[in-house]
Structure 1
């Protein structure tokens, strides 16, 4: 089942400046109504056969299912990770006014 409504989309990057650039680029392009940056966080993951530990910043975008494909393309093009985290989660409930704001903030215009 493909989501039809609002989404939150998460990615991570290795600096606050890169996180800010990803957030600003998506909001300026109306691919997300807003983006929140949190960090640093410590990530532990397997990469190229090794267990790695890194300091990262999380970026959480508020968007719509209709804008997700363009947001994903934007993140893949703008991100410097070989395989960036891009995870979308459907918003199943929320303030009607806020959800409308997300839709308006991502409308082409």
Structure 2
């Protein structure tokens, strides 16, 4: 049986966040994407602590689609090393799982 995963990335441009979100849904690689309100991220990059205002994108997809989604998002992503975190889910309803599977099926 399929299971749902949540994949996350961040981008520093709101328009780019919308483009990636919409494109991933249109490509049926994810059933839906949530874009969190602008936040501040601190991180190490090029031997210094950096900070950016960013938007977090959370993709709801299946384990079967995660590799294709990752490849697609990385092609679209403006960062040299995009954040890519995949979180398992537990206790998802059968109805929600069925919806995610249906919306990520291209047949």
TM-aligned CA deviation for residue 5 of structure 1? 1.4
List alignment gaps of at least 5 residues for structure 1: none
Residue 81 of structure 2: aligned partner:
83
Correspondence for 1:68: 66
1:1-109 map, 5 Å: 5-109=3-107
C-alpha distance in structure 2 between counterparts of 1:93 and 1:67, whole Å: 20
Shift of 1:96: 1.5
Shift in Å at residue 19 of structure 1? 0.6
Residue 105 of structure 1 and its aligned partner are, at CA, apart by 0.6
The TM-score with structure 2 as length reference comes to: 0.95
How does the TM-score come out when normalised to structure 1? Answer: 0.94
DSSP-derived class of the 1:66 partner: helix
Please give the root-mean-square deviation of Cα atoms over the aligned residues, in Å: 0.9
